[in-house]
Structure 1
Amino acid sequence: MGRRFSETERKYEAGHGQGSVRPDLDGLAARTRDLDPVRLDALYHDTPRLTLAAHRVTLRRRTGGDDEGWHLKLPAGGFGAGAAANADTRTEVHAPLGRPGGGPPDELRTEIAALVRGRPLEPVVRLRTTRRRVLLLDAAGRTLAEIAYDEVVAEPGGAAWAEIEVELGHGAPRLLDAVEERLLAAGARRSGSGSKLARALGARLVPAPRGPDPVRTAGETATAYLHAQYTAILDLDPAVRRTEEDAVHRMRVATRRARSALKSFRAELDRAATAPLGAELKWLAAALGAERDREVLAERLARRLAEIPRPEGAGTAGTAGTAAQEAARRRLTAATGGTATAGPPHTAGAPPELDDARYFALLDALEALLAHPPYTPRATAPAPRAAEATVRRDHTRLRHAVEAALALPPGDTRDTALHEARKDAKRARYSGEAAETVLGPRAAAHTGRMKSVQQLLGEHQDAVMCRTAVAAVRTAALAAGEDPAPYDAIIDRERRTAADTEAALPDLWRSADHPL
């Protein structure tokens, strides 16, 4: 991956001509230093639809100066952040120049794959900049901030303008305010464009749609929540591709939340439009979940193996008890793809489906739905009343599922029913989250209660899945003549865990069974 760091800067407009704005910098730092002028030549790349620029992302190949190379600038608040969110700070990713005329390097394409979606990246604007810099230094010679006076010419078109960039170095954030005060006093003003590229594109740039704010109607409650999940998927996509810890899990949760919202708000969103999208979200969640499920099972098995008490006197590697445990560890590790071992958490790799045209088509479909929501007549209802009705409906669904499961005798049928109740608990939790925008603390409290139920049912399901997986491995081990004791110990432990959760569920449900 490319070299990543944060950049905090502010931009100002000035009249054309380098001498138009040169503020007094006395007292802002121990001393200042003027650097020799440099000429920068930056070729900006984007899709034909200017998708990157619409999401406040810039990708350029720049020569000249002391940081030649490919530069990718990303909004610090994520692709879905508003224009004012974290306006001064961006994430930069740098990569080497490569050969002239070559396209963007793969390590930068990875960062923006969810935005580009297989579309070609092509040059859209060339900016030639003459830059004169002044450094604000502390007594030790460290750069507190850098002020760049830029004369810019855009091609095609030949538009020219002057601007000033103030980039924070080792200085405190308040230094930016102090420099701004001097610049404004000297006649500069805050730039109306977030980047040089945005200014060069002008009317060609159409910002990406944002979620509704404020939320007034039932339909907007649904689309605001869906927009949050859509942008979460976009933001997590590069982290999944970089195989960051827990990124796959969080992206899977965002996918499930989006699918759940389509179900919960089926009265506000036309089902004919949302049903195909729900099926594709189910596919993506399954693709993300396959590796994650193996990871969770492997970590649980590693814990269970470590909990098995050694027989009396089993202090050396040659004892029968230790040998049986090691044989079980090897067999269980093999069964979970080589990850059921003690140590730091295993990080799931990026599913190959993320490079599939089907995944990109799903993102396109979500984007299209948010741009033109398929609202039904009921979508115009006031948001608070409709949100409360949705939460109550999902809660009632969960109540029926929990009560039906608890009415069954212990066994496989009840296990299946509790697993279905867990799905309903997620749905109730997610509709509560969506309602928080308009119902506030009441909905947040409900979400917390549903989360507790979901977690307890999740522990039950994990115990059932682990017990089932170990039983299958035990059968093979027994056929190979191995000692079944370690497997029996894990199975017994998981059976007791499942029983404990079932015993705890009635009391927990009584405390949670009061929607809003």
Structure 2
Amino acid sequence: MPSDTEAVPVYLYEQFERLRRAEMAFHDGADDSVHQLRVAARKLRSTLRTFKTLVGKKNADAVAAELKWLGGELAPARDAEVSQARIEAGLDDVPPELVFGPLRQYLARGFTRTSQAGLARAAEALSSTRYATLVQSIAALIETTQPTERKALRRPMRKAARKLDRATAATAGLSGDELEKALHNVRKKAKRARYAADVVRPVSGKKLRTWRKHVKAIQRTLGQHQDSVVDRATLRHFAIDGFSENQNTFTFGLLYGRDEAAASMLRDRFADEWRTLTTGARPAWLKN
């Protein structure tokens, strides 16, 4: 095996290309393009933050900050898309006799307004000078990122794993809103740890791939949990507005209760998956 690896610059380049393809797809009006843009931006930002000592801290921090801005500009359009799909799917499971009034039309009107505003905001961001400068900065950063020793990848990877461990430990004894916020933080740390493992994976062994698989399961479960948190806030908003418009909001309350029950089951699943992660295989260097 060669003594150095291009794992970091290769991964950054792959995600940069994904970002540019998604940008073109967005301008063409393609479905799912906002989601693909957000994923690419998130992976780029996460990689720069995790491996910034290998990329160049000052430049990595500056580009990561701009990627955070981009993610914020894309978020409303994607969040509306996800909430609409989930709430409408939940409504499909409600017996017809418990759906009162023209709720589907009411939801469609509300989500259309939110989605249009979000897409306009995303379009403005992607057409801005600020975004063009960001694209140039990413390209320049990738070009100047040098191959590095394999062992140099381990320290940032361990740091990401430790942050995940600490975030999970911080959920102990919490409940209600505090627990939901803490679990959202665990999800973010799991996502960063998983992305770090994705960077290292081409030059790692089977044990890291197994560990990554368990982290991904946790991320997925807590992603569903966070979706339920967002959905409940959205349902509450619709219920309040609907009441003021003389809508029968019983069904919104029913969906809210179902989401609460689903969130409880997801927290139990997370606890099981965390035990699997902590007792499962991982490289010896990741334990140190």
Q: TM-score range by the shorter chain?
A: 0.7 to 0.9
Code of the residue aligned with 1:334 in structure 2: it is R
Post-superposition shift, 1:249? 1.1
Measured against aligned partners, the alpha-carbon deviations of 1:340-359 in whole angstroms (never above 9, x if no partner) come to: 9xxxxxxx786232211111
Give the 3 Å change call, closer, same or farther, for CA 478–510 of structure 1 in structure 2. Answer: same
Give the 3 Å change call, closer, same or farther, for CA 426–325 of structure 1 in structure 2. Answer: farther
Give the 3 Å change call, closer, same or farther, for CA 436–331 of structure 1 in structure 2. Answer: same
> Where is the helix percentage greater, Structure 1 or Structure 2?
2
Paired with 2:259 and 2:101, the residues of 1 have a C-alpha distance of: 17
Equivalent residue, structure 2, for 1:272:
58
Give the 3 Å change call, closer, same or farther, for CA 306–437 of structure 1 in structure 2. Answer: same
Give the 3 Å change call, closer, same or farther, for CA 435–354 of structure 1 in structure 2. Answer: same
The answer to whether the Cα contact below 8 Å between 1:436 and 1:443 also exists between their aligned partners in 2 is: yes
Residue 414 of structure 1 pairs with residue 200 of structure 2? no
Structure 1 regions of 5+ residues with no counterpart? 1-213, 312-320, 341-347
In the TM superposition, structure 1's runs of 4+ consecutive aligned residues that sit over 4 Å from their partners are none
Equivalent residue, structure 2, for 1:54:
none
Equivalent residue, structure 1, for 2:107:
332
Equivalent residue, structure 2, for 1:392:
158
Equivalent residue, structure 2, for 1:468:
233
Post-superposition shift, 1:461? 0.3
Post-superposition shift, 1:502? 0.8
Measured against aligned partners, the alpha-carbon deviations of 1:141-180 in whole angstroms (never above 9, x if no partner) come to: xxxxxxxxxxxxxxxxxxxxxxxxxxxxxxxxxxxxxxxx
Equivalence map 1:90-129=2 (5 Å): none
Paired with 1:409 and 1:371, the residues of 2 have a C-alpha distance of: 45
Code of the residue aligned with 1:291 in structure 2: it is A
Post-superposition shift, 1:451? 1.2
Paired with 1:239 and 1:301, the residues of 2 have a C-alpha distance of: 26
Measured against aligned partners, the alpha-carbon deviations of 1:328-372 in whole angstroms (never above 9, x if no partner) come to: 3333222222699xxxxxxx7862322111111101101111222
Measured against aligned partners, the alpha-carbon deviations of 1:417-459 in whole angstroms (never above 9, x if no partner) come to: 1111111111011000000121143333332222111100000
Give the 3 Å change call, closer, same or farther, for CA 333–394 of structure 1 in structure 2. Answer: same
Post-superposition shift, 1:302? 0.7
Residue 401 of structure 1 pairs with residue 167 of structure 2? yes
Q: Which region of structure 1 is more displaced relative to structure 2, 410-419 or 246-255?
A: 246-255
Measured against aligned partners, the alpha-carbon deviations of 1:176-216 in whole angstroms (never above 9, x if no partner) come to: xxxxxxxxxxxxxxxxxxxxxxxxxxxxxxxxxxxxxx781
The answer to whether the Cα contact below 8 Å between 2:101 and 2:247 also exists between their aligned partners in 1 is: no
The answer to whether the Cα contact below 8 Å between 2:77 and 2:114 also exists between their aligned partners in 1 is: no
Paired with 1:308 and 1:474, the residues of 2 have a C-alpha distance of: 17
Equivalent residue, structure 1, for 2:209:
444
Measured against aligned partners, the alpha-carbon deviations of 1:465-489 in whole angstroms (never above 9, x if no partner) come to: 0011111221222233432210111
Paired with 1:248 and 1:309, the residues of 2 have a C-alpha distance of: 33
Paired with 1:369 and 1:242, the residues of 2 have a C-alpha distance of: 28
Paired with 2:224 and 2:101, the residues of 1 have a C-alpha distance of: 25
Equivalent residue, structure 1, for 2:131:
359
Equivalence map 1:184-195=2 (5 Å): none
Paired with 1:325 and 1:504, the residues of 2 have a C-alpha distance of: 35
State TM-score, norm by structure 2. 0.87
Give the 3 Å change call, closer, same or farther, for CA 351–427 of structure 1 in structure 2. Answer: same
Measured against aligned partners, the alpha-carbon deviations of 1:476-512 in whole angstroms (never above 9, x if no partner) come to: 2223343221011110011011111111111111112
Give the 3 Å change call, closer, same or farther, for CA 408–329 of structure 1 in structure 2. Answer: farther
Paired with 1:442 and 1:254, the residues of 2 have a C-alpha distance of: 26
- RMSD (CA atoms): 2.3
Paired with 2:163 and 2:3, the residues of 1 have a C-alpha distance of: 26
Code of the residue aligned with 2:91 in structure 1: it is L
Measured against aligned partners, the alpha-carbon deviations of 1:57-107 in whole angstroms (never above 9, x if no partner) come to: xxxxxxxxxxxxxxxxxxxxxxxxxxxxxxxxxxxxxxxxxxxxxxxxxxx
SS of 1:283's partner is: helix
Equivalent residue, structure 1, for 2:4:
216
Equivalent residue, structure 1, for 2:286:
none
Equivalent residue, structure 2, for 1:252:
38
State TM-score, norm by structure 1. 0.50
Percent of matched pairs sharing the same residue:
28
Paired with 2:26 and 2:173, the residues of 1 have a C-alpha distance of: 40
The answer to whether the Cα contact below 8 Å between 1:463 and 1:494 also exists between their aligned partners in 2 is: yes
User: How many residues get paired?
Assistant: 276
Structure 2 regions of 5+ residues with no counterpart? 284-288
The answer to whether the Cα contact below 8 Å between 1:398 and 1:424 also exists between their aligned partners in 2 is: yes
Which of the numbers 216, 224, 243 marks the counterpart of 1:478? 243
> Where is the strand percentage greater, Structure 1 or Structure 2?
1
Code of the residue aligned with 1:216 in structure 2: it is D
Give the 3 Å change call, closer, same or farther, for CA 389–292 of structure 1 in structure 2. Answer: same
Code of the residue aligned with 2:184 in structure 1: it is H
Paired with 1:479 and 1:369, the residues of 2 have a C-alpha distance of: 52
